[in-house]
Amino acid sequence: MTHTLLQTIITIVVMMGVLQGACAYLIYVERKVAAYMQARIGPNRVGPFGLLQPIADGLKFLFKEEVIPGNVDKLLFLLSPAVAVGTATFAFAVVPFGPTSNTPGEYQFVIAPGIDIGILFTFAIGSLAAYGIILGGWSSNNKYSFLGAMRSTAQIISYEIPLGMSILGVVLLAGSLNLERIIDQQVRDGWNVFYQPLAFLLFLLAVMAECNRLPFDLPEAEQELIGGYHTEYSGLKFGLFFLGEYTHVITTALLLSVVFFGGWYFPGIVGPESGIILKLLSIWLKALAFILFYMFIRWTIPRFRFDQLMGLAWRTLIPLAMVNLVCVMLVKEFRLSLWLLPPTSLALLLGATVLSLKYPQQPRRRLLTVAADGQPAVTTAR
């Protein structure tokens, strides 16, 4: 099952190249999508249709001056972008990006095949990205960076919990954390999204928040925080933050397609006779669909308010994930039909909707009236 040393090194080199190329071109795609959704043309100056734009951007990143402000904590300031891009790339180690099989001797499209902790590894390393952000924000010694980093960390650790909890149902169904085995189970039983639609929704929301994608991009809210935690970064260090973010997007899109949409498995594309190309196409098209979905969402839904953001994680996603887990557990324990799960998910979703419409979340702020002459300041809760 494991690769030889040479295979490993070739896979790593090729995949790092693919990841960086894909990140560069995703930024181009993102700009094009944004442009078309706002009735603009988008980048079209460098090369035909602006196709060389990512290369020009990369060169510009490299040749721009790296400003290191005088009052920063230099070591942490330099460490932070490296941590951000390093953890995002490292989390990719166990994610299948092509056909995998149990046949010994066959090439597996994973950097490290047969890792039993699989998805746990991805979560563990992926959540280290919070360090990159908080180190960057703290060391910058800039108020915008600091506020952005605090917000971002609070957001990332809050959404970590629904992220991990929603996956537990799938793990119960597959009986393994190993991503290749999760695909195998879906080849047997069909895509997990049919059994776990609610978990899929929770996972999708949680990864969007983890990637700081737009409805959840409070940490970088340009209008209020300039750039959030990377306000003070310039040149290639800023580019590294960007690279880390887009690597995260690719990883999570692949994870979504692997965990809920069967990875390389598509009805009809099963056995060895369907060939590697079709399976590769199957997994990457699914991932691309998710990436495009992120981009469309970005220009469709406005940004949340921060208390709504935290409320969504703590008061909606976590209880839903917990109840969903109990449902899967009951079905598995009493050996009921797996087809009981989708109606349960639907019922839970409807229940949550009804409850949240019945008890809408009020913004509760302390209103502070400024002290008038001779009178103390009054705090009232609304």
Partner 1 sequence: MQSFDLATYYPIFIFLVFVLGFAVTAMAMAHLVGPARKTPVKQMPYESGMDPVGDARQHFDVKFYLIAILFLVFDVELLFLYPWAAMAYREGNEALLPAELRGPVFVVVLVFLATLAIGYVYAWRKGVFQWR
47 to 76, contacts with partner 1 by CB under 8 A?
62-67, 69-71
CA terminus-to-terminus distance, the chain: 61
Could you tell me the two tokens for 220?
A: 């970088």
Nearer to partner 1, 111 or 249 (CB): 111
Task: Write the CA distances from 170 to 39, 166, 194, 200, 317, integer angstroms.
Answer: 41, 8, 11, 10, 16
Which of 47, 175, 272, 343 forms a contact with partner 1 (CB under 8 A)? 175
- Which residues 28-47 are close enough to bind partner 1 by CB under 8 A? none
Residue 54 or 86: which CB sits closer to partner 1? Answer: 86
Assess 188 for contact with partner 1 (CB under 8 A): no
- Report the distance separating Cα 22 and Cα 11, nearest Å: 16
Interaction of residue 315 with partner 1, rule CB under 8 A = yes
Q: Does 326 bind partner 1 (CB under 8 A)?
A: yes
Q: Does 369 bind partner 1 (CB under 8 A)?
A: no
In 3D space, the residue among 136, 177, 134 whose CA is nearest the CA of residue 152 turns out to be 134
Query: What is the distance, to the nearest Å, from the Cα of residue 64 to the centroid of all Cα atoms in its chain?
Result: 29
Could you tell me which residues come within 8 angstroms of residue 66 by beta carbon, excluding any fewer than 6 positions away?
Answer: 234, 235, 236, 237
Query: Least distance to partner 1 from the beta carbon of 296, Å?
Result: 28
Distance, in Å, from the CA atom of 375 to the CA atom of 355, rounded to the nearest integer, reads 43
Measured from the CB of residue 9, what is the shortest distance to partner 1 in angstroms? Answer: 7
Q: Name the segment binding partner 1 (CB under 8 A); options: 171-179, 193-201, 273-281, 285-293.
A: 171-179
Q: Phi-psi category of 306—alpha, beta or left, where left has phi over 0 and alpha has psi -120 to 50?
A: alpha
Give the interface segment with partner 1, choosing from 267-275, 322-330, 336-344, 371-379 (CB under 8 A): 322-330
Report yes or no: 123 and 114 within 8 Å, Cβ to Cβ. no
Secondary structure string (H, E, C) spanning 80-137: HHHHHHHHHHHHHHHCCCCCCCCCCCCCCCCCCCCCCCHHHHHHHHHHCHHHHHHHHH
Judged by CB under 8 A, which stretch of 34-42, 150-158, 287-295, 372-380 contacts partner 1?
Answer: 150-158
Shortest Cβ 34–partner 1 spacing (Å): 25
Sign of CA dihedral 89, 94, 100, 105: positive
**C-alpha to C-alpha distance for 194 and 345, rounded to whole angstroms:** 10
Subset of residues 293 to 312 that bind partner 1, contact rule: CB under 8 A: 306-307, 310-311
One of 50, 54, 81, 262 touching partner 1 (CB under 8 A): 81
Size of the site for partner 1 (CB under 8 A): 83
Does 17 help bind partner 1 (rule: CB under 8 A)?
no
Tokens coding 170: 């799938």
User: What three-state secondary structure class fits 380?
Assistant: strand
Residue span 227-266 as binding mask against partner 1, x where in contact by CB under 8 A, dash where not: ----xx--xxx--x--------------------------
- Cα-Cα-Cα-Cα dihedral of 190, 261, 171, 294, to 10°? -160
351 is a site residue for partner 1 (CB under 8 A): no
Figure out which of the listed residues 221, 325, 327, 341 binds partner 1, where binding follows CB under 8 A.
325
145 binds partner 1 (CB under 8 A): yes
Residue closer to partner 1, measured from CB, 39 or 381: 381
The residues in 92-111 that bind partner 1, with binding defined as CB under 8 A, are 93-94, 111
Q: Which of 37, 226, 288, 349 binds partner 1 (CB under 8 A)?
A: 226
**DSSP of 306-320, one letter per residue?**
HHHHHHIIIIIIHHH
Cβ nearer to partner 1, comparing 154 with 340 = 154
Residue 210 in contact with partner 1, rule: CB under 8 A: no
**Whole-angstrom distance, CA of residue 111 vs CA of residue 95:** 8
Our CB check for partner 1 shows the closer of 62 and 276 to be 62
**Contact call for residues 343 and 194 (beta carbons, < 8 A):** no
